[in-house]
Structure 1
Amino acid sequence: MAEASIPQAGTEEGAKVATAAASGGGPVERTRAVLAAMGAPEALAAPLVTALGPAADTELTADPWRLLTLPRITPEQADYCARRALGDAASPDDPRRGRALVAHLLRRAAREGHTALEEQRLTAALRSAQVRAPAPALAAAVEDGGVVVYEAVEEPDDDFGFDDGEAPEMPDPDRYYALARMGRAEQALGAGISRLTASGEPIMDAYTAAETVEAAGRRLGADVAPETAAALVAVALRNVCVLTHGGGAQAAIAHVLACAEAIATDSEVGIAVAAPTAQAAAALNDAIAALDGDTEVRAVPLSRLLECRAPGEFARTARNPVEAGLVVVAGAMALDVEHAAALVDACANGTHLVLIADPAQAPSAAPGQVVADLVASRTVTVAALPGAPDPDSDPLARMAALVADGELGAVEAPGREVVVVPAGSAAEAAHRTVQLVTDSIPRAVGVPADQVQIISATRGGEAGTDALNTACKQRFNPGPGALAGLDPGDRVLIAADGPGHCAGDTGRLRAAGPDGAEVELADGSVATVSDPAALRPGWAITVAAAHGGRWPAVVAVFPPETRGSRPQVYTAVSAPLKHLSIVHAAGPALAQAVLDSATITRRTRLVQALRES
């Protein structure tokens, strides 16, 4: 796609594209021919057919800028191919180009976690891409159906008055653009939360709920903290609650779930508990099992609660809701807009929905900041749970608390619960990391290597996830990579929802068959992943992929090129249950980032959607 190779005679190239589109063969072969004629890599054919459908060749012939549907394609590359296909007819102001650029910019924003962009921001970006008239481009994107636009008028600080008998002028509305799927999910989530808050009644009155919690505490042989008891009364009274906590709150969360089960049982409404991933659900169930007394509540991965059939497709919907009057989701900071919308859609009118979240964590890996927006909207009940009962005796909780307060410091850990390993380079960081997993942690801490999760702040570089996965595969399970670079016995990360598995699940690849790859998950279940493209090497994963997961031991790696933030570092250091090793090669810049970069800002519309509803 080199610019120097652009031919001068565009008409001839356009004829080649049209001829290629008319050639025989299947969708991929036809698309490959069109790509070759416009100077694009033929390897893009299969991804384009997946993205655009079997008529991808026809769409590309009519609109070469459809190439921008693929995230790896840049506007400059698409422009080059368009000139090959269209010749002099290719113009920076071509409506097809503007339409494609709008969707491209929104997809790029979604990869960064945003759900919508303001019109002014989009307009500026389009002008930077030489679109002289952004308005027609925006209109074309909306008309195409892949983009939606929303209008909002800022509420005045005081009441409108009628001076001199004249009505005041209404301000011009602000416009926000979103990918259609994302925008509709966020709008549906706002409407669904409003439906729940307006449709239900208390499960119990406050006095009865307090008595039930007290009795449950006696049965568990534990003193339920006053903050936990107050939060549970709110759960019984209010239809949507956010319960916040910090590091080391496993006991408080287990008490909440056990007492919530007592409330649901005594009121005969039933309870369902979910966590973002199989490993998070397993950790939650271990914490519940550690309580004294009998409690039958068990957490399941969210995709199983919603009975996922395929990515974005769930059996549990408004027509087939979850059969429980009390639905609790722990680890709720991992909830993105689309999963949250599916969850709320699966809650029948009158259901009490409880989200348990650690607000110091980074927002979800996928677009949105659901919990933060719910809290900011002031439309739901928010209550705080207590932290670790004895922070001085819990080095992991103390480390998490330090980072949450903006300090990347050392903590005393007589049981080697927290270890900081300095490294002078990326190569040394990689060496130390593999050494920790293969030898130091199993020997000194007693956690087997297959229960140690590496979380790296970067993907590239000598100490990024790609390089670390290569090193771990060579060390633990060398093989030919028969299944898209993977072999049975490999540790894998699942990157998409499906029947029996969630995006973010880690496990061990057991076998590959005609129906897909069998992956043994942390909770002992075996999921069949039908699409091999949804599997990644999983010895080392990024912070974003680790969101919502819990593991017995974690090696958090910060290579020299790390450009972190407090929420990202906190998410990594709060993932372990027993042991944390920090491999630190980022120098003083990382501590400065933890101090200065206290939040991750995302542009979303959920607060506005909630207030509109």
Structure 2
Amino acid sequence: MSTEPETTEDDTPGTPDPAEDTAEAGGGPRAGAAPEAEAGGTTGAAADGGETGADEGAASGGGGAAGTDEGAAGSDEDAAGTDEGAAGTDEDAAGTDEDAAGDGEGVSGAGAQAAGAGRGEAGAEGAGPLSEAEAELAAQRLERERIERRKAAKKGPIESGGKLSGRAADLLAAVRAVESGEKPVTGVFAEPGPAPRRPAPEPARRPRPDAAGPAAPAAPPPPSAQAVAAVRRVLADGGAPETLAPQVAAVLGEGAAERLRADPWHLLRVTGVRPEQADGFARALLGAGCGPDDERRLRAVTGWLLEQAALAGHTALEAPALTAALGRRGVPDPDAALRTAIEHGDVLVFQDTPNASDTPNVSGAPNAPAEAAGDGAQEAEGAERPVRVLVGLERYALAEESLADGLLRIVNSVPKQEGSTEGWERAAGAVRGSAAELIRAVAGHGLVLHTGGAASLAEPAALLHAAAGLGLRAWAAAHSPLGRDGFAALLRRDADAAAAGAADGAPVPHRPGAATVAGLLSGAEGPGRDADGTLDLDLLVVLDAPQLDVETAALLVESLPDGARLVLAGDPAVLWSVGAGRVFADLLQARVCPQVASRTPDPGPLGELVSGIGIGELAQVEAPGKEVVIVPVRDAGEAVHRTVQLVADSVPRAIGVPAEQTVVITPGHGGAAGTRALNAALKERLNPGPGRFGGFDPGDRVVHSPAPGRVLPGHVVTADAEGLHLSCSGTPVVVPRERVEQCVRHGWALTAHQAVGARWPAVVVVLPGDAVQALSRPWVYTAFSRAVRHLSVVHGVEQALPRAVAEVPARPRTTRLPLLLAQAPAAA
């Protein structure tokens, strides 16, 4: 039972269409060397004419290279194989491979969502030449009228089979029977109306122990040796790898061995274990006493599919997609399986009845007709309206509902006024362009969205300094330590420039601070919490906002005090979060607060190249300073060779960027040119050694992933009985020996998701021929935009690169946040 299958990164996993389901990126033709005369895409000079194979006047990034690949390998020999049993979204993959530096516990299948920001227009169009403000007011009036009509129509009970029909009506009846304490009638398949809004549990809040800042929350204690030994015996009896014992004991908690023996399918709760593996384990333990229709199996597989959907970014799945996936998983009666999960409270069911003309739909496509869950569109208020039945896990449902409530609390609250209106206006008048717009928007609103590329970070910095000058406690939070450090350096430069230009004796305003989102929430970084348990600040700017999943976003919003201002800032074209949800894109679509789009362009050839990718064009750019280099290769072996040559020799000599400031980005961990192969080759060249510390040596570049979605770059210091000692952005980290294999990887080469939130002076993007299916516009945009001074593209995908940029946008995620925001007034 393998628990570490990894695949080439697939950044487009998320539509509920089983036909598109693929757990690994298949092989594609690898490109031969592209001739200089063809210039269909990016163009640049060679980093080192004699060594890179991309001499001055290199081939185009999208040029039609000649030649085909004889027998291109699959994306990853370690992958568990293509699985057509997912709920339409790669849910059958056992995790996302790119979400963590060391998810050795068994990421099986690509799954992190490609980025983008679909902007659905919520509201009806007004007739006549209305101003933007008048149009917005008219749309709001129409929305309120529609909500009142719906509220009036819902005052009486809805009889099953009345306004609903087919599966939707049956599911509604069964859920109501369950809620009343009755068992659903045999053969009935249920579909409820909207579930009651329940706030998420209040986060644990700890008072600050001292003025120096709060300590990070203590980690849960590891399972005892006796508990692990007991679980190991059960695993051995069932023929499962005994190495899983610590994970099983940690996941199942007290009495893990007894619980596992009574219900072997609890093994599915361990990351990386798949249903067929759990089935074999159950047969070994239970013998003839178990079968495919065992109630324990039905519940476990249903929850597992929804967990895989969450790994692919969905907070819920449509009921037909889930039942279809259950059928492909060998469940004899998928409807009964879902009914069983509902009865036991394993899943929640929601009825989605959006008005396609004036509310955003939950799938992410603006104004697209939603799929009916039953026998077609259902009638509501005398008109045809789509009805969708969504099924989700409670943790994501509560997080999304709590997030919607918290966001609306901020939107509707009166921001704290430390400075006068004139003070805010003076601050806005001191800057230009979209920075002034951002300051004015924040002055009068609790929630503001800010969009833009890397150069636009100067605008949140100007906002933070303006707020600090007005007496507000202002902080920024970034996705990664490298992003935090880069923004902190920008804040310091601006503060030093302001202090140098101030008159002698003038008071120096409070300087805003920067932290990571994880550090801010844990209390390890940032201002700490006040006596009420809320964050001790007045203004929070969250950078890299597209990386917020619903659970993190909900906890962040709940932690803000009344009257605090929240600014979510980020580039909507990058990859979305590793976790479930697409918070930033959903908010942009819902249009519940002011949105300020930066007009500050990213400079130079790199900025021109990335801006074109963002709109679907792989443009040819002039690169007189060797800012962009294309290195054509024929196969994966040559790709690895050229990459090592670039990082170790060519880029340091021709560009002046040392190897330690260069990062390699490739689509996935597996394959002949994935992170594993590239890191092995780069280690041999840059820091050779025997790997005596679990494969690592002092000086190795690594990435540490303490939790899925969190990546801490660093290097190895030493190792001892405590574990592997790392230095991550200057912070000492000790990884226990038993966790090294799961959460530490070499870090010269990263996936695009691991690189989000950080930038490096030089970046080498490797595109081997077997990565064609992993490419999308958001992936390419994210990878190329990580470079500050120089970008080399090791190009082996022929025309797949320009085709991905032009034709492969972000695949939608199924979320409920836009609908919750739109329906919130009715709930109030």
1:188 maps to: 402
Aligned residues of 2:477 and 2:541 also touching (Cα < 8 A):
yes
Distance 1:535 1:318, change over 3 A: farther
Residue 547 of structure 1 pairs with residue 756 of structure 2 = yes
2:370 maps to: none
Deviations 1:409-464 (A, max 9, x none): 44222222221211111111111111111111111111221111111112211210
1:101 maps to: 301
The offset of 1:396, in angstroms, is 1.4
Residue 260 of structure 1 pairs with residue 484 of structure 2 = no
- Structure 2 SS opposite 1:323: coil
The offset of 1:566, in angstroms, is 0.1
The offset of 1:585, in angstroms, is 1.3
Distance 1:137 1:481, change over 3 A: farther
How do 1:307-386 residues align onto structure 2 when only pairs under 5 Å count?
Answer: 307=522, 319-386=532-599
1:88 maps to: 288
Aligned residues of 1:71 and 1:108 also touching (Cα < 8 A):
no
- Structure 2 SS opposite 1:388: coil
- The one-letter code matched in structure 2 to 1:599 is A
Q: Which has the higher helix share?
A: 1
How do 1:459-608 residues align onto structure 2 when only pairs under 5 Å count?
Answer: 459-496=669-706, 503-512=710-719, 517-522=724-729, 524-529=730-735, 532=740, 533-562=742-771, 563=773, 564-608=775-819
Distance 1:139 1:26, change over 3 A: farther
Distance 2:398 2:719 in 1: 37
- Structure 2 SS opposite 1:493: strand
Distance 1:485 1:51, change over 3 A: farther
Distance 1:156 1:434, change over 3 A: closer
2:498 maps to: 293
Distance 1:544 1:599 in 2: 14
Aligned residues of 1:317 and 1:345 also touching (Cα < 8 A):
no
The offset of 1:401, in angstroms, is 1.0
Distance 1:551 1:190 in 2: 35
- Structure 2 SS opposite 1:520: strand
The offset of 1:388, in angstroms, is 2.0
- Structure 2 SS opposite 1:495: strand
Distance 1:307 1:51, change over 3 A: closer
Residue 276 of structure 1 pairs with residue 479 of structure 2 = yes
1:420 to 630, 640, 644: 630
Deviations 1:280-336 (A, max 9, x none): 1122233344544338334222222223579xxx97599422221110012212222
Aligned residues of 1:318 and 1:346 also touching (Cα < 8 A):
no
- The one-letter code matched in structure 2 to 1:297 is P
Distance 1:156 1:410 in 2: 40
- Structure 2 SS opposite 1:78: helix
Distance 2:610 2:358 in 1: 42
Distance 1:396 1:140, change over 3 A: same
Aligned residues of 2:752 and 2:782 also touching (Cα < 8 A):
yes
The offset of 1:342, in angstroms, is 2.0
Distance 1:51 1:118, change over 3 A: same
Aligned residues of 2:299 and 2:346 also touching (Cα < 8 A):
no
1:56 maps to: 256
Aligned residues of 2:528 and 2:535 also touching (Cα < 8 A):
no
2:393 maps to: 179
The offset of 1:173, in angstroms, is 6.5
Aligned residues of 1:452 and 1:551 also touching (Cα < 8 A):
yes
Distance 1:566 1:57, change over 3 A: same
Aligned residues of 1:115 and 1:605 also touching (Cα < 8 A):
yes
Distance 2:344 2:523 in 1: 29
Distance 1:318 1:52, change over 3 A: farther
Distance 2:723 2:441 in 1: 45
- The one-letter code matched in structure 2 to 1:188 is S
Distance 1:547 1:367, change over 3 A: farther
Residue 111 of structure 1 pairs with residue 311 of structure 2 = yes
- Structure 2 SS opposite 1:241: strand
The offset of 1:344, in angstroms, is 1.1
The offset of 1:208, in angstroms, is 4.3
Aligned residues of 1:280 and 1:550 also touching (Cα < 8 A):
yes
Distance 2:306 2:258 in 1: 24
- Structure 1 SS opposite 2:769: coil
- Structure 2 SS opposite 1:299: strand
Distance 2:689 2:257 in 1: 37
- The one-letter code matched in structure 2 to 1:366 is G
Distance 2:282 2:528 in 1: 42
Structure 2 residue runs of 5 or longer lacking an equivalent are 3-223, 360-379, 500-508
Distance 1:158 1:336, change over 3 A: closer
- Structure 1 SS opposite 2:536: coil
- Structure 2 SS opposite 1:407: coil
Distance 1:84 1:508 in 2: 44
2:15 maps to: none
- The one-letter code matched in structure 1 to 2:399 is A
Aligned residues of 1:512 and 1:518 also touching (Cα < 8 A):
yes
- The one-letter code matched in structure 2 to 1:440 is S
Distance 1:186 1:574 in 2: 30
Distance 2:600 2:727 in 1: 33
Distance 2:763 2:381 in 1: 63
Aligned residues of 1:199 and 1:349 also touching (Cα < 8 A):
yes
2:437 maps to: 230
Distance 2:277 2:268 in 1: 9
RMSD over aligned Cα atoms: 3.1
Aligned residues of 2:464 and 2:475 also touching (Cα < 8 A):
no
- Structure 1 SS opposite 2:715: strand
Residue 244 of structure 1 pairs with residue 443 of structure 2 = no
- Structure 1 SS opposite 2:642: helix
Distance 1:360 1:416, change over 3 A: same
Aligned residues of 1:116 and 1:176 also touching (Cα < 8 A):
yes
Residue 200 of structure 1 pairs with residue 414 of structure 2 = yes
Distance 1:175 1:315 in 2: 41
1:13 maps to: none
- The one-letter code matched in structure 1 to 2:472 is V
Distance 1:269 1:116, change over 3 A: same
Distance 2:515 2:415 in 1: 26
Distance 1:516 1:609 in 2: 46
- The one-letter code matched in structure 2 to 1:28 is V
Structure 1 residue runs of 5 or longer lacking an equivalent are 3-23, 160-165, 218-223
Distance 1:422 1:441 in 2: 16
- Higher mean C-alpha deviation, range 205-214 or range 280-289: 205-214
Deviations 1:176-199 (A, max 9, x none): 233333332222211111111122
TM-score (structure 1 length as normaliser): 0.84
Distance 1:356 1:330 in 2: 5
1:124 maps to: 324
Distance 1:469 1:116 in 2: 36
The offset of 1:474, in angstroms, is 2.1
Deviations 1:543-585 (A, max 9, x none): 1221222222211111111121000110111112222111111
2:133 maps to: none
Distance 1:537 1:318 in 2: 42
TM-score (structure 2 length as normaliser): 0.63
Aligned length: 564
Distance 1:122 1:260, change over 3 A: same
Distance 1:599 1:232, change over 3 A: same
- The one-letter code matched in structure 2 to 1:293 is A
Distance 1:214 1:527 in 2: 45
- The one-letter code matched in structure 2 to 1:611 is A
Residue 69 of structure 1 pairs with residue 269 of structure 2 = yes
